[in-house]
Amino acid sequence: MKRRDFLQYTGVGALGAATAASVGGCAEEEPAVKFWQHGNYRPVSDEVTVTELKVQGSIPPELNGLYVRNGTNSSSGVAEHFFGGDGMLHGVRLEGGKALWYRNRYVDTPVYRKEDGGFGAPKPENTTSAVSLLYHGGELMSLGEFGYPYLIDPDNLSTKGTFNYEGKLPGNMTAHPRIDPDTGELLFFGYNVIEPYVTYMRADAQGKMLQVEPIQMSGPSMVHDFAVTKNYVVFMDMPVRFSWLMAITGSGLPFKWDADVPSRIGVMPRTGTNADVKWFDVPAFFVFHIMNSFEQGDDVIIDAARYDHLWVKSSHDFFHPARLSRFSMNMKTGKASVEQVFDGAMEFPQVNRERWTKPYRYGYGLVVDEENDSPELIEQAEGGIRKYDLQTGTSDSYLPGPSLVPGEAVFIPARESGGGEDEGYLASFLYDRNTDTSAFSLFDATRVSSGPIASVLLPVRVPVGFHGVWVPDSARG
């Protein structure tokens, strides 16, 4: 999110702008190395369409649909923070064992068009949209950290406009909603830096808003994700807090660790109210992304990429490992526990989304290189894709070495229903450091370490980004 936009959206307004201009020495310290301006983090300048695509290996013929991924890509070439660029979509259309096209398109927002709305009332349509995507209720949506969703045409990735659930969306919508795989219901939330800090929402399978419920939090935490089980939704109240001082003195992302803030997890019935939230105290933590959540007896369980601290010095410090950990909240005793379930740094956890809200066995994530995990060495970092077996405690990894760098791996079922939990494919963009180009690659999810079964070679580079979605033709009717 651009600084001007952030000040406008949060209502700091002209006072914030004037204070930022007059206060000296209080701004967040600039990082020595802005890693997001180097290597495959740097933005691409052109929107392209490529239809003559070469394929190595064989694309499974049953995969008919669109894979599309969102990410931050500054249209000016420079962003004040890694999260601060405009949204850019990268999509590959598959049909009958062929890759018909690749496109990249900016999400066409007022911020991208550089329309200056001034410093007035909050405008949730005037934000970037650079984090993730959702297909629900017959619509493909681009989602950001703040603001309204933007509707996207899946046939060409053009932006159709904002969506606010017929005026029932009170403001922000999370970048990480959950779809109940049995009912099609959408469960989501939005967070804000003014009260209500979190608002929970629920929509039916057709996209009609059913519930809007403000949730009382201890303060303005960053709440990037949340959890859903069969009967509950789960909110995280964490020590990464919004700072007004950072906002008015020029921080690209005015959030910072506050060691004095307690860490809590709140569990609420899916159709409940704020009065029904049961809070559990847990050791200090932060979570960007949840792998899955479910119920087991009296326990509500969340598996997530857990940080024990983050952004202690500044919001530019991403170089601290997250571990796959399990949070267990016992609804009968009121006690909570946290345990690390796998060694090794990881992020961007995923599952077969047919297992959302349910007990599961397999998860997937990106391997994080701790040895080269610093701004100076990030272009030497070796990543990979790892499959986790939560039942046996074993894993299976694709580790391609320093030349190839994978992105988030999204699970695509091999069949629409009735298949095994890991019977399907993982989709990821792979960046080749030697050629400075990327490929859209598919892996057999039952044998990840064997490498890609198909790679669509792209004549362009797909920068490091965030989250994608598979939209099968069958879902579009």
Map out the domains of the chain with their CATH numbers. Answer: 3-26+39-476 (2.120.10.30)
Instruction: Give me the numbers of helices (H) and strands (E) for the chain, helices first please.
Output: 3, 33
Task: Compute how many other C-beta atoms are within 10 angstroms of the C-beta atom of residue 450.
Answer: 11
Pairwise CA distance, residues 446 & 228, whole Å? 26
pLDDT digits (tens, 9 = 90+) for 271-327: 999 999 999 999 999 999 999 999 999 999 999 999 999 999 888 888 889 999 999
Task: Compute how many other C-beta atoms are within 10 angstroms of the C-beta atom of residue 115.
Answer: 9
DSSP reduced 3-state for 391: coil
- What are 418's two structure tokens? 């009735």
Longest dimension (CA), the chain: 63
> Averaged over 152-156, what is the pLDDT?
98
Pairwise CA distance, residues 428 & 432, whole Å? 13
pLDDT digits (tens, 9 = 90+) for 238-281: 999 999 988 888 788 899 999 999 999 999 999 999 999 999 99
Report whether pLDDT(5) > 80.
no
Task: Compute how many other C-beta atoms are within 10 angstroms of the C-beta atom of residue 434.
Answer: 8
Pairwise CA distance, residues 314 & 26, whole Å? 12
Amino acid letter for position 3:
R
Q: How confident is the model at residue 20 (pLDDT cuts 50, 70, 90)?
A: very low
Q: What is the pLDDT, as a whole number, of residue 429?
A: 98
pLDDT digits (tens, 9 = 90+) for 317-358: 888 899 999 999 999 999 999 999 999 999 999 999 999 999
Report whether pLDDT(23) > 60.
no
Report whether pLDDT(13) > 70.
no
* Nearest residue to 406 via CA among 431, 386, 424: 431
Q: pTM for the whole thing?
A: 0.93
Mean pLDDT of the chain: 91
Beta strands in 157-285 (DSSP E): 159-162, 178-179, 186-191, 198-203, 209-215, 227-228, 232-237, 240-242, 255-257, 263-269, 278-282
Q: What is the pLDDT, as a whole number, of residue 417?
A: 65
Pairwise CA distance, residues 353 & 286, whole Å? 23
* Nearest residue to 47 via CA among 477, 460, 470, 472: 460
> Averaged over 21-33, what is the pLDDT?
55
Q: What is the pLDDT, as a whole number, of residue 249?
A: 82
